[in-house]
């Protein structure tokens, strides 16, 4: 079976970050919104480095202003994921962008996103779940409001809580209140760390926020004791190699530590993060990994099993997905 058609599980995808540039341009035109300087001459997203990427992300997101816009985005993103074999995807969603952290508006956005997701499940068989995500550089007070939105809507669709954004802004300990609130509401926890913040940020996410998964986490490789801890404790890394290479964390795919982490017994999974920003898809991630590390179908099978185990969905959904992985 070709890697492109393998059924895939994706645990780390930002919904706005998956918006095709043409989709964003179309909405901007419809609404007469000016978003200068975010595309290059070929119409791709343009950014200089990670911090510029965060600004471009927010500028692109500024065209998404209503629940209906998010419904259209969800449909477009899920069609693209399904075209690359994705059968289950978890997406980061933020009340910062969806209703300004007002619970009632947030519910309206979620309703629209869920309706679009249910339609995609009926047409393409792809299943979506949401991870509510405060944005680190917006600060801990806004994260508390976000956690309240998350707690109010925790359930079958909103199953997780995370944090993304500028890893060098503030300290993770200041977000502990928000994570405690989310945990008490029954949400499963993950945090972006070990990307721009280095290995200490992974320790902080584990010790201060008590997460079970880490978004990226790859810089743990710089600290052998931490690598052992991740392996022993079964912490799952949501690894996004194409994102790390595109943002300049590693110069080439072969320099990426995903294979070293896997060889040391760390549970790794594979995702695209913000696919059009990084010119990637799940099929491309698979192809480039196979090329760079000589990974065969057996390795991808192991990764898919790890991803399914680590997914933030209920047991019945997992059982259905498991059958689909097994009967490919």
Positions annotated as catalytic residues are 195
Binding partner of 145, given ligand MCF, Zn ion, none, CB within 5-8 angstroms per partner class: none
Residues 264-293 that bind Zn ion (CB under 5 A): 273
| Cα–Cα distance measured from residue 83 to residue 70, given in angstroms and rounded to the nearest whole number | 20
Tell me if 96 contacts Zn ion by CB under 5 A. Answer: no
Closest approach of ligand MCF to the CB of residue 133, in Å: 4
Residues 72-91 that bind ligand MCF (CB under 6 A): none
> Closest CB to ligand MCF among 3 and 92?
92
Tell me if 195 contacts ligand MCF by CB under 6 A. Answer: yes
Asked if residues 246 and 277 have their Cβ atoms less than 8 Å apart, the reply is yes
Question: Token pair of 13, please?
Answer: 């995808």
Binding partner of 195, given ligand MCF, Zn ion, none, CB within 5-8 angstroms per partner class: ligand MCF
| Cα–Cα distance measured from residue 14 to residue 306, given in angstroms and rounded to the nearest whole number | 20
Closest approach of ligand MCF to the CB of residue 37, in Å: 17
> Closest CB to Zn ion among 312 and 325?
312
Question: Token pair of 167, please?
Answer: 């890893």
Asked if residues 323 and 26 have their Cβ atoms less than 8 Å apart, the reply is no
Closest approach of ligand MCF to the CB of residue 48, in Å: 15
CA distances in angstroms from 4 to 31, 282, 318, 323, listed in the order given: 36, 8, 22, 19
Query: What stretch of H or E contains 42?
Result: none
> Closest CB to ligand MCF among 8 and 136?
136
Asked if residues 150 and 120 have their Cβ atoms less than 8 Å apart, the reply is no
Closest approach of Zn ion to the CB of residue 215, in Å: 5
Dihedral angle, C-alpha 58, 113, 81, 231, nearest 10 ° = 80
Asked if residues 74 and 116 have their Cβ atoms less than 8 Å apart, the reply is yes
Select from 84, 142, 188, 192 the one that contacts ligand MCF (CB under 6 A).
192
Residues 145-184 that bind ligand MCF (CB under 6 A): 164-165
* HSE (side-chain half, CA atoms, 13 Å) at 212: 12
Residues 258-317 that bind ligand MCF (CB under 6 A): 273-274
Closest approach of Zn ion to the CB of residue 164, in Å: 5
> Closest CB to Zn ion among 26 and 170?
170
| Cα–Cα distance measured from residue 145 to residue 15, given in angstroms and rounded to the nearest whole number | 20
Residues 128-147 that bind ligand MCF (CB under 6 A): 133, 135
| Cα–Cα distance measured from residue 16 to residue 18, given in angstroms and rounded to the nearest whole number | 5
> Closest CB to ligand MCF among 3 and 257?
257
Binding characters for ligand MCF, 3-42, by CB under 6 A (x = yes): -----------x--x-------------------------
DSSP structure string for 191-226: EEESSSS-HHHHHHHHHHS--SEEEE-GGGGG-HHH
Closest approach of ligand MCF to the CB of residue 100, in Å: 14
Asked if residues 178 and 143 have their Cβ atoms less than 8 Å apart, the reply is yes
Q: Which residues sit at the interface with Zn ion, rule CB under 5 A?
A: 273
**Residues at the contact surface with ligand MCF, assessed by CB under 6 A:** 14, 17, 54, 57-58, 92-94, 133, 135, 164-165, 192, 195, 243, 273-274
């Amino acid at each position: 079976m070709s890697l492109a058609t393998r059924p895939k599980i994706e645990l780390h995808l930002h919904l706005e970050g998956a918006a095709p540039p043409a989709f964003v341009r179309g909405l901007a035109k419809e609404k007469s919104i000016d978003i200068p300087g975010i595309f290059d001459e070929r119409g791709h997203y343009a950014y200089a480095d990670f911090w510029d990427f965060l600004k471009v992300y927010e500028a692109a997101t500024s065209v998404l202003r209503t629940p209906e816009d998010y419904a259209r985005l969800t449909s477009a993103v899920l069609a693209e994921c399904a075209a690359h074999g994705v059968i289950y995807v978890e997406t980061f969603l933020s009340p910062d962008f969806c209703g300004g952290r007002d619970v009632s508006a947030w519910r309206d956005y979620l309703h629209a996103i869920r309706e679009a997701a249910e339609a995609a499940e009926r047409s393409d068989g792809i299943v979506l779940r949401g991870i509510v995500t405060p944005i680190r550089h917006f600060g801990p007070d806004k994260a508390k409001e976000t956690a309240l939105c998350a707690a109010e809507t925790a359930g079958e669709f909103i199953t997780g809580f995370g944090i993304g954004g500028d890893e060098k802004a503030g300290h993770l300990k200041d977000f502990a209140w928000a994570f405690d609130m989310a945990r008490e509401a029954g949400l499963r926890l993950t945090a972006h760390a070990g990307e721009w913040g280095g290995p200490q940020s992974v320790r902080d996410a584990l010790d201060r926020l008590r997460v079970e998964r880490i978004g990226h986490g790859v810089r743990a490789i710089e600290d052998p004791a931490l690598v052992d801890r991740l392996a022993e404790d079964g912490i799952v890394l949501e690894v996004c190699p194409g994102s790390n290479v595109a943002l300049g964390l590693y110069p080439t795919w072969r320099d990426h530590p995903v294979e070293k982490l896997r060889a040391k017994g760390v549970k790794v999974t594979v995702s695209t993060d913000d696919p059009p920003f990084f010119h990637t898809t799940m099929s491309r991630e698979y192809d480039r990994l196979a090329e760079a590390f000589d990974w065969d179908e057996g390795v991808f099978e192991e990764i898919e099993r790890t991803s399914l185990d680590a997914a933030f969905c209920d047991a019945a959904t997992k059982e259905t997905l498991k059958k689909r992985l097994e009967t490919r």
